[in-house]
Amino acid sequence: MSTAPSPSVAKKQQGPPFPPLCPLPLPPHTTNSQLTKTKKTDLQTQYSTYKSALQQLAQKIGDVEQEAEEHKLVLESLEPVDPGRKCFRLVNGVLVERCVGDVIPAVRTNAEGLKSVLEGLVKEYKRKQEEMEKWKVKNNVQVVNR
């Protein structure tokens, strides 16, 4: 009978391939790569949030521009008309009969209000866009079109 250990016992007696204090290379599925994936996901989420906010602001700007243009057309149509002539105006969903002389100042006031709202929305859009650009530089984000 031989005293040589069986192959399974021989493997158990061998030490690790590296000395115990030598750091082992990390496999690709470690916490570091998970953190990298989490950071990428967070950056993508933040980017999507910025894009969505900018898109919503652009939609609001378009809506207000369209309404301001409608007010401009109404004023252009009513100004040459006799101020005593009757016209109809929609107020809170109710069609109201008024004279042109009463409606023109109200429409002009609304148009000026829309203009100031539009200016505020454009400033907000530019501010948000600058904020996004700073964020992209800070986080070294580069957009890749697919």
Residue 25 is assigned to a structural domain of this protein:
no
Q: What is the pLDDT along the chain (146 residues), one digit of tens a residue?
A: 445 555 554 444 454 444 444 444 444 444 566 668 888 889 999 999 999 999 999 999 999 999 999 999 999 999 999 999 999 998 899 999 999 999 999 999 999 999 999 999 999 999 999 999 999 999 888 888 87
Would you say the pTM of this structure is higher than 0.85? no
Among residues 69, 133, 66, 143, the alpha carbon closest in space to that of 77 is found at 69
Q: Is 23 inside any structural domain?
A: no
Query: Whole domain around residue 94: which residue ranges?
Result: 41-137
The CATH number covering residue 75 comes to: 1.10.287.370
Indicate whether 6 belongs to any domain. no
State the pLDDT at residue 3: 54
Q: Is residue 111 part of a domain?
A: yes
Number of domains the chain is built from = 1
Q: Is residue 63 part of a domain?
A: yes
Buried b vs exposed e over 30-41: b needs ≥16 C-beta within 10 Å?
eeeeeeeeeeee
